[in-house]
Structure 1
């Protein structure tokens, strides 16, 4: 059943603001049908929507009154229809409406001219004069209504926390549950970042009655992110300052550390920056990190352990997703038993490994370069909400075997040498045990990623991640060079898993 949402707009600025907010709520396949009397603000709202989607205040938005449709190849393609001069509703097909809706968003003014031809699941927005302002009355299917309510809730959060009238722009979304916006204060102050992290309903049970996030100890609310940010900043590392948080709704305003990363213009690793990140890790791994972090007067975050259950569950992604995709059939019962037994044995080998804070995803997308800073503060750290306590070698494997970009052998060897040289100067460092745990953690991470790339394609419709598969399998081959990985190397050879993918 459709839901109704009503918003009072006190002036033209509020109407434009609603258009900007809707640009963050709508996605491919959405049709927004705009209606209202002449002068009600339909065109102003449509222009604001398109300029926000383009992130270009100067975008020319000509009226499509005579052309009937104007198309915009934006972040999400948008087709702006004005049906006032439509001769017959059937002409909508000739205008390419169905194709436009399949590939993007359709923004329709005068929808009543082709009411029967528009999708049943459209979002309707009627603007009505009310006093000195106007009211926007929106009717939408449940899924779209939830998205609209979310962007309006974020707007209310901004208003409450000193950012009334701020300009919002889409920044990024990823393979995770989080999305990010760039927030530009109305007074011209510095840009800040908004993290949009709504709570999700629990998924199906995968082990002992628990869904995957609980088994793998993935963060499900904002407390872990805030806790680790506090911990890092208190110990001299560069993590974003936290300005405002709504823990219940999962909305955070955080410091913008910038957009300069560790890759060059061609997307290749910049050795100086990777080496600085390795030095940052060596510093972190030499510290004693508390496991309980006070976040608010009533909440203490306990950093979870990267335990056997979590390691095994992640490594199983290769078995559950990659192998059936690779071979066209699932693993046999005997193969499954052998694979999981090997991982039990490998995890046992980690009992004596050095353990400390794991940031968990320390690779190029999550490192911000701050060249004007000094020492470890040149390395800005983000996306650490899933941090755990476990073998320190995991984060080094994550960095020197970057999941998103190839770290060539010469740079890989330089980074490993840098790290080991720095750690040798720290008391109690067991280099041989560290290298053994590095190989095991590298294998564990890359087995997880091989399965994850397939899961993202098959379950979530995100086929683009498969481009990382050859690199992931090549990294796995590097891990296999350590003698401790011989049983897993032999299992993969029998299963037909190799480093080259078509």
Structure 2
């Protein structure tokens, strides 16, 4: 049966750490100007090609992501579209457009690009709607849904964009450092001793070596239930692929089958993985024990990284909606440490030093996180009037 990630077992920092500080006048003005500029740009893309469009473009915010992109739904005579604000100093729209073209050519359903301005960091793209695979998963539907998602993954991995960077040792190490820097030190509040540093340095080296052993393929890097959409034609739509790399072939299988947002019994995960390995050209000649170790150790690397990222999203970026994924992600880490003798010391350290603090103030953080999510998710509507050359943004809740 489905084991949804709980929102318990998290330590409570101060409310000042959780809530986004009130925006300065200059920052609020900058954000307002940015929305006005996006609405005007969208208007220019749609008119006069769509002459019957009203002379006001309404931007309705929709769910964002863990990056710096903002998404707005707009209605045109040809249907719903998404306007994307991807600040060029922080997001790579060119990578999104380039990879979208490669995947689309391979028959994979990705959002079609209607218009793009790389200098401004604006895009107008196809709207895939709001139905995530996560919304459809239960113990009856999961086998069929994951079978389709894994079949699609093999198609995706058969593509080979020439410009994809390598998932190299330096990047793997940088990601692992997020766990110590943000989760252990910032969230849990443990200052690592020299002996602790040595312990985790050894862990890093083992995980990086294992990742580099694997055959390489296209990896989405966030191939999971929140980045796969259910489309009206019964196809799966793929989003949020701009961070794709060339790297360990089992990485996306880990993202899907050991999803930070929903978890499943170990024997079920093993069955899905075995089917995937048997049918994969790059894996079927490798013995099962090796594939399972690659999968588990790569999962450990990913989940350590995710603990760091979820913490950073909260403490630095004031995005509390990822807090509820921390307990299940931490359980994944402990499970792998307990399964492999090479990680026995690491598992004991985490169980003894981290787990008691992580479970310390369950009720407080759950309540505060829920309040914060409600406060930051109030919808806004931005409207820019262009018929008389006047710009006026109104925000309503």
User: Shorter-chain TM-score: what band?
Assistant: 0.7 to 0.9
Aligned partner of residue 390 in structure 1, secondary structure: strand
- Quote the Cα distance in structure 2 between the aligned partners of 1:190 and 1:457: 35
Residue 413 to residue 439, structure 1, CA distance change in 2 (3 Å): closer
* TM-score, length of structure 1 as denominator length: 0.60
Partner of 2:221: 360
- Quote the Cα distance in structure 2 between the aligned partners of 1:331 and 1:158: 50
Partner of 2:30: 146
Determine if the alignment matches structure 1 residue 156 to structure 2 residue 28. no
Residue 227 to residue 266, structure 1, CA distance change in 2 (3 Å): closer
Deviation at 1:192, TM superposition (A): 1.0
Residue 392 to residue 333, structure 1, CA distance change in 2 (3 Å): same
Gaps of 5+ in 2: 1-18, 48-52, 360-397
Residue 399 to residue 172, structure 1, CA distance change in 2 (3 Å): same
- Quote the Cα distance in structure 1 between the aligned partners of 2:155 and 2:286: 13
- Quote the Cα distance in structure 1 between the aligned partners of 2:330 and 2:324: 11
Deviation at 1:150, TM superposition (A): 0.7
1:313 to 171, 174, 181: 174
Aligned partner of residue 191 in structure 1, secondary structure: strand
- Quote the Cα distance in structure 1 between the aligned partners of 2:265 and 2:164: 33
Superposed, which structure 2 residues align to 1:341-380 within 5 Å? 341-370=202-231, 372-373=233-234, 378-380=235-237
Residue 223 to residue 493, structure 1, CA distance change in 2 (3 Å): same
Higher Rg: 1
Deviation at 1:425, TM superposition (A): 9.6
Determine if the alignment matches structure 1 residue 198 to structure 2 residue 69. no
- Quote the Cα distance in structure 1 between the aligned partners of 2:23 and 2:120: 31
Residue 161 to residue 429, structure 1, CA distance change in 2 (3 Å): farther
Residue 246 to residue 234, structure 1, CA distance change in 2 (3 Å): same
Deviation at 1:344, TM superposition (A): 1.9
Q: Is the 8 A contact 2:207 2:298 kept in 1?
A: no
Higher relative contact order (CA 8 A, sep 6+): 2
Cα-Cα RMSD: 3.0
- Quote the Cα distance in structure 1 between the aligned partners of 2:312 and 2:96: 25
Partner of 2:110: 239
Tell me the alpha carbon deviations over residues 474-499 of structure 1, each in whole angstroms, 9 at most, x when there is no partner: 2223433654xx33342231243677
Deviation at 1:273, TM superposition (A): 1.6
Q: Is the 8 A contact 2:103 2:159 kept in 1?
A: no
Deviation at 1:330, TM superposition (A): 1.3
Determine which structure has the larger helix proportion and give its number: 2
Gaps of 5+ in 1: 1-102, 105-118, 122-140, 202-219, 293-301
- Quote the Cα distance in structure 2 between the aligned partners of 1:263 and 1:181: 21
Tell me the alpha carbon deviations over residues 347-368 of structure 1, each in whole angstroms, 9 at most, x when there is no partner: 1233331111110111111111
Determine if the alignment matches structure 1 residue 487 to structure 2 residue 328. no
- Quote the Cα distance in structure 2 between the aligned partners of 1:142 and 1:498: 40
Deviation at 1:387, TM superposition (A): 0.5
Tell me the alpha carbon deviations over residues 282-336 of structure 1, each in whole angstroms, 9 at most, x when there is no partner: 3333x2513x2xxxxxxxxx21111111111111122112223565321112212
Determine which structure has the larger strand proportion and give its number: 1
Superposed, which structure 2 residues align to 1:129-144 within 5 Å? 141-144=25-28
- Quote the Cα distance in structure 2 between the aligned partners of 1:281 and 1:497: 38
Partner of 1:440: 297
Deviation at 1:379, TM superposition (A): 1.6
* TM-score, length of structure 2 as denominator length: 0.74
Q: Is the 8 A contact 1:317 1:451 kept in 2?
A: yes
- Quote the Cα distance in structure 2 between the aligned partners of 1:427 and 1:274: 19
Partner of 1:181: 72
Residue 421 to residue 465, structure 1, CA distance change in 2 (3 Å): same
Tell me the alpha carbon deviations over residues 350-405 of structure 1, each in whole angstroms, 9 at most, x when there is no partner: 333111111011111111113624xxxx2210000100010011111000111122
1:169 to 60, 65, 77: 60
Aligned partner of residue 173 in structure 1, secondary structure: coil
